[in-house]
Amino acid sequence: MARITFLGAAGTVTGSKYLVEADGKKLLVDCGLFEGRRDLKQRNWEPLPVNPATIDWVLLTHAHIDHTGYLPRLLRDGFRGPIYSNAATRELCALLLPDSAHLQEEDAAYAARKGFSRHKPPLPFYTVAESQAALARFHDIPRAGSFTISPQFSVRPHDAGHILGSSWLELTITENGRQTLVVFSGDLGRYDQPILKNPESPARADFLLCESTYGDRDHPSGSVLDQLADIVSQTAKHGGAVVIPAFAVGRTQTLLYYLRQLEEEQRIPRLPMYLDSPMAINVTDLYERHHEDHSLEFSREEGQGNHDPLNVHEVHMTRSVQESKNINDVVAPCVILSASGMATGGRVMHHLARRLPDPRSAVLLVGYQAEGTGGRALLEGAKYLHIHGEEVPVRAQIHEIGQLSAHAGKSELLRWLSGFQAPPRQTFLVHGEPTALNSFRSTIQDQFRWQVAIPEHQQSVDLAL
Ligand SMILES: [Zn+2]
């Protein structure tokens, strides 16, 4: 009988990994890294309960590190099969995985110099070379339509509207001539937003795994442009810097799109903006190549000036460590966008260390801030932030624009679920913190009368019809 084991994102929002077994074959859906709380990150270093050498295939919903960042380790520990994703996800992973490895190497080297790591010597979780080895295993599957993995597994991806290439998956398991349909929501995006399309809705499933990041609340209404204009122009007026922790792919493009619009409408001054990322490829090109996911129109004709909707007028892309450090000397006002998005590590930590003590400056948080992250501490009013072994006083203004989230809010999750023509036999709520999971379970039970379970870490469930 087919079986699923929850190897991550069970009772928490990171580490997505679901092992599906049928007819002696093993398929891993998503292969994410745990992030945030120390005890969660520690799980990354513990061996999986399944030998990676016995896993036949990996199938990805989207490129975010909490869904893909464990891949280099899976290979190091013996996985030798193909990794299936669509082309946009593969191209994003080709940016994100080496970038994540590079940041880990930089952080480990920095920790070694300063002597503050718990590992002696400090180690990156994986290296750039290991991330390249993982990329060599990627195989493209179609953006839509059915794809056969093996006699046991076939998959049909649908647009999830969360980031470029993001999909929810209909997995058909065939065993002893019987078919079982499992829907994996992956991460679901928003409705009626600029750039990305609306999530498609599923019609049926025997078993459903649904993300619950915002299962207990909706995003605030109110205009993103008004808030962003306010924060940027106020900070500029005081002569401060706006530091925005953001993934270099995804939310960063949304922010640049809005900032560009505010510049055009002269609602903010034209400021130097620093996109501090070691990625060597212009992400905008990815959006130009993958039109299937978004509604942007690019016009970059010669002699027409900068008509790139994803770039502000004065943008500086920094790749090397030295360029990144030089931003410390940039006299405000300016805007600095840098990863990681939850202030858990990476270059944004240097910018926070430099700008947080300055009451004229501002930090703008734009995505989900998981438990135990620097971003969550700032939102909760921390007076100090622990950065690179030092206590950095928080005197800068802390702002949040919840509407910029790439995740569906509660009503958007319910809108997605309302597409089902019959209740799934069993719904599993994943990818949420306990409060969100419990609240969303009650809402679904009240509204739809479905069978809803909240699986525990490493729990296995038979997919019995
Ligand atoms: Zn995601």
Domains in the chain and their CATH numbers? Answer: 3-217+406-462 (3.60.15.10), 224-404 (3.40.50.10890)
Residue 64 C-alpha to ligand 1 middle, in angstroms? 5
Is pTM beyond 0.85? Reply is: yes
Give the whole-angstrom CA distance, residue 183 versus residue 170. Answer: 5
The helix (run of H) or strand (run of E) holding residue 97 is: helix 87-114
Neighbours of 390 (CB within 10 A): 11
Residues with Cβ within 5 Å of ion ligand 1? 64, 187
Determine contact, residues 214/187, Cβ cutoff 8 Å: no
Residue 444 Cα to ligand 1 midpoint, Å, equals 22
Give the model's pLDDT for residue 304.
44
pLDDT value, residue 305? 47
What local confidence, expressed as pLDDT, does residue 370 receive?
A: 86
Contacts 24+ apart (CB under 8 A), 170-178: 170/202, 170/205, 171/20, 171/27, 171/29, 171/59, 173/2, 173/20, 173/22, 173/463, 174/22, 175/1, 175/2, 175/22, 175/23, 176/23, 178/465
Distance 252 CA to ligand 1 centre (A): 14
The Å distance, Cα 167 to ligand 1 centre, comes to 10
Q: How many angstroms does the Cα of residue 409 sit away from the middle of ligand 1?
A: 14
Residues 344, 14: Cα–Cα separation, whole Å: 13
- Residues of the chain with pLDDT below 70 are 116-119, 248, 278-282, 284, 298-309
H helix and E strand count, the chain: 13, 22
The CA 179 to ligand 1 mean position distance, Å, reads 29
pLDDT in tens, 371-411: 889 999 999 999 999 998 899 999 999 999 988 888 999 99
